[in-house]
Chain A
Amino acid sequence: MNKNITPPVIEIGVIGWLRKNLFSTWYNTILTLIGLYFIYLIIPPLLSWIFFDATFSGTNREDCTSSGACWVFIKQNIKLIIYGLYPSDELWRVNIAYFLLTVSIIYLLIPNLKYKGFVGIFLLIIFPIICVFLFSGGLGLENVETRLWGGLFLTLVIAGVGIVLSLPIGIMLALGRRSKLPVVSLLSTIFIEIWRGVPLITVLFMASNMFPLFMPEGVNFDKLIRALIGVMFFSAAYLAEVVRGGLQAMPKGQYEASQAAGLTYWKMMALIILPQSLKIVIPAIIGSFIALFKDTTLVLIIGLFDFLGIIQFVGTNPDWLGFSHEGYVFAATIFWVFCFGMSRYSQRLEKKLDTGN
């Protein structure tokens, strides 16, 4: 037997891969060629519109004379797009939050660093508290009304609050629904099914228009807070069902072994059952978060100008009429970057937590 014999050249390397995946049969060859033709039709014009024929420098629409995209439109409105109508003198407050968020996330993404647990706790608990004061004012900072919040900033606030608060609430609802106590189980089920049965648009409408009617005269909750609560419970109800799926996938033996070892219900859940069942449903949880992130665009209908809303808004400015394509491509790109980032992080997390079972 010759151990040093190599596989036939035709089976490996680029040629082997092409043969195996693209040209294995005559109909696969045809499909490949048609696919290549479509790529040829779409990609070069797109690239020239976005990059080669596009205008990047200038200050107004007259500078955009080429046939490509006019990125001057984005550039000139970038402050609105990122901060909304937040007062110019106070932008540093939002910038601090952007900075802290970015640094913490980068820290968490670098493998094998120490104290990641602390950074995680900072990001999930301390950072949001800092943000409340930074953004809305208090402790000597000037108040900034939430109607001035907007753009990417507002999108991140809504999505961030939704993500950070809806997961714990969702977990509690899932545990509640599976509880042996009939009242707890019934209440959790009713809560989950009501929120899941209503479209998010309706929830937002109710929060914005109906809710104030039920409040006594003079009591007025901030509109953004009402929307946040709506988004949070809506997302929590979906997450509850996702988490419940994970809980149901746990073999009975895990419960029995925990009980036999003398663990109480909460210790058993916190140490044995939830770590395993949440791990199973990471892809679905991140899927929910991605959906939540994109659904934040719906707040436009109750008069909040999120990232997409503000891009639409600046597109209606008479100085910039006719540049909505650029706006939408830009918005799509940014949304995609965030969502793809979450998706990749989910895959990394799965790999990292894999213990081979």
Chain B
Amino acid sequence: MTSETMIEMSSVHKWFGELHVLNDINLKVAKGEKIVICGPSGSGKSTLIRCINRLEEHQRGEIVVEGTELTNDNRSVEKIRGEVGMVFQQFNLFPHLSILDNCSLAPIWVRKLPKIEAREKAMKYLKRVQIDDQAHKYPAQLSGGQQQRAAIARALCMEPRIMLFDEPTSALDPEMIKEVLDVMVGLAEGGMTMLVVTHEMGFAKEVADKIIFMDEGQIVESKNPTDFFSNPESERTKTFLSQIL
């Protein structure tokens, strides 16, 4: 694995009002690294990855993504959002646009690609997540699993260097979880840098280079999967693992 650092968070703090949601977060993500973040609800794991593309603003500390520091300057935010793709729990496809238009919109309007090229690229990625046959349908006509795969394709169309996944399978019916996880495994095997918030421990075991356990805004445990499951240090990690495994 190369040592090029993609994301570096140092002493990051964030509060929602009085609530200290991120408490001294230090995290380094290398190129191609796959990190799974887990923890009880309200532990700040979603907030952590949402800080990386400025959907949430951190209040103290420093976040550097591919050499660009995340500041209040809109240009730094725009630059970083161009490099970072995101997949949401609720898919958040644009319901008034066809799947194809969902995928080609940002390449056309942000990357300024010609329409034809953007559509070709969209079809390429839709094929990769195996829903190219649904390209002309609207999101509401697709199943949850298909919608989430379309959302992944939409993010990939921007050819991001980093992908953030915010509980991508939590809103899915059980029989659809696998089809989405398979796409994510494929993506991981292709060398994408990934940060995944999930409770799918099977996926974590199979794919993650590092598993991070968060609780009350802090990173409690950060280990490779083998150590994480067989040899957790903190009591809180042990309790959490005993509850979900």
Residues of A bordering B, CB below 8 Å: 251, 253-254, 256-264, 267, 271-272, 275-276, 279, 353, 355-357
On chain A, the residues within 8 Å of B109 by CB distance are: 263, 267, 271
On chain A, the residues within 8 Å of B90 by CB distance are: 251, 253
Most chain A Cβ neighbours within 10 Å, of B53, B84, B92 = B92
A258 to B155, CA, bound (A): 11
Q: Is B81 touching A259 in the complex (CB atoms < 8 A)?
A: yes
A256 to B91, CA, bound (A): 11
B154 within 8 A of A: yes
On chain A, the residues within 8 Å of B140 by CB distance are: 355-357
On chain B, the residues within 8 Å of A355 by CB distance are: 95-96, 138-140
Q: Is B88 touching A263 in the complex (CB atoms < 8 A)?
A: no
Chain A: minimal CB distance from B50 (Å): 8
Q: Is A262 touching B105 in the complex (CB atoms < 8 A)?
A: no
Q: Is B78 touching A264 in the complex (CB atoms < 8 A)?
A: yes
Mark contacts of B73-102 with chain A using CB atoms, 8 A cut-off: 1 yes-contact digit, 0 otherwise: 000001001101110101011111000000
B185 within 8 A of A: no
Q: Is B96 touching A275 in the complex (CB atoms < 8 A)?
A: yes
A357 to B93, CA, bound (A): 11
B19 within 8 A of A: no
On chain A, the residues within 8 Å of B55 by CB distance are: 256, 259-260
B143 within 8 A of A: no
Residues of B bordering A, CB below 8 Å: 53-55, 78, 81-82, 84-86, 88, 90, 92-96, 105-106, 109-110, 138-141, 154-155, 158
Q: Is B110 touching A261 in the complex (CB atoms < 8 A)?
A: yes
Q: Is B154 touching A261 in the complex (CB atoms < 8 A)?
A: yes
Assuming the contacts A261-B81, A261-B158, asked whether A272 and B94 have C-beta atoms less than 8 A apart, the reply is yes
On chain B, the residues within 8 Å of A259 by CB distance are: 53-55, 81
On chain B, the residues within 8 Å of A272 by CB distance are: 94
On chain B, the residues within 8 Å of A257 by CB distance are: 86, 88, 92-94
On chain A, the residues within 8 Å of B158 by CB distance are: 261-262
A275 to B102, CA, bound (A): 14
A261 to B106, CA, bound (A): 6
A259 to B94, CA, bound (A): 12
Assuming the contacts A257-B93, A261-B158, A275-B96, asked whether A356 and B141 have C-beta atoms less than 8 A apart, the reply is yes
On chain A, the residues within 8 Å of B92 by CB distance are: 251, 253-254, 256-257
Residue of A nearest to B105 (CB): A271
A251 to B53, CA, bound (A): 19
Residue of A nearest to B87 (CB): A260
On chain A, the residues within 8 Å of B81 by CB distance are: 259-262
Assuming the contacts A256-B55, A260-B85, A264-B78, asked whether A357 and B110 have C-beta atoms less than 8 A apart, the reply is no
On chain B, the residues within 8 Å of A356 by CB distance are: 138, 140-141
On chain B, the residues within 8 Å of A254 by CB distance are: 92, 94
A-B contact pairs, 29 of them (CB 8 A): A251-B90, A253-B88, A254-B94, A256-B55, A256-B86, A257-B92, A260-B81, A260-B84, A260-B85, A260-B86, A260-B88, A261-B158, A262-B82, A262-B106, A262-B110, A262-B158, A263-B110, A264-B78, A267-B109, A272-B94, A276-B94, A276-B95, A276-B96, A355-B96, A355-B138, A355-B139, A355-B140, A357-B138, A357-B140
Residue of B nearest to A257 (CB): B92
Residue of A nearest to B111 (CB): A262
A258 to B102, CA, bound (A): 10
Chain A: minimal CB distance from B75 (Å): 11
Q: Is A263 touching B138 in the complex (CB atoms < 8 A)?
A: no
On chain B, the residues within 8 Å of A261 by CB distance are: 81, 105-106, 110, 154-155, 158
A353 to B97, CA, bound (A): 10
Q: Is B95 touching A262 in the complex (CB atoms < 8 A)?
A: no
On chain A, the residues within 8 Å of B96 by CB distance are: 275-276, 279, 353, 355, 357
A255 to B197, CA, bound (A): 20
Give me the 5 closest cross-chain CB pairs, A-B, nearest first.
Answer: A257-B92, A253-B92, A357-B95, A356-B140, A261-B106
A267 to B108, CA, bound (A): 11
A275 to B95, CA, bound (A): 10
A304 to B139, CA, bound (A): 51
On chain A, the residues within 8 Å of B141 by CB distance are: 356
On chain A, the residues within 8 Å of B78 by CB distance are: 262, 264
Q: Is A256 touching B88 in the complex (CB atoms < 8 A)?
A: yes
On chain B, the residues within 8 Å of A256 by CB distance are: 55, 86, 88, 92
Most chain B Cβ neighbours within 10 Å, of A262, A267, A275, A279 = A262
Chain B: minimal CB distance from A268 (Å): 9
Chain B: minimal CB distance from A264 (Å): 7
Chain A: minimal CB distance from B152 (Å): 12
Assuming the contacts A355-B138, A356-B141, asked whether A263 and B106 have C-beta atoms less than 8 A apart, the reply is yes
On chain A, the residues within 8 Å of B105 by CB distance are: 261, 271
Chain B: minimal CB distance from A141 (Å): 43
Residue of A nearest to B80 (CB): A262
A272 to B154, CA, bound (A): 14
Chain B: minimal CB distance from A263 (Å): 6
Residue of B nearest to A268 (CB): B109
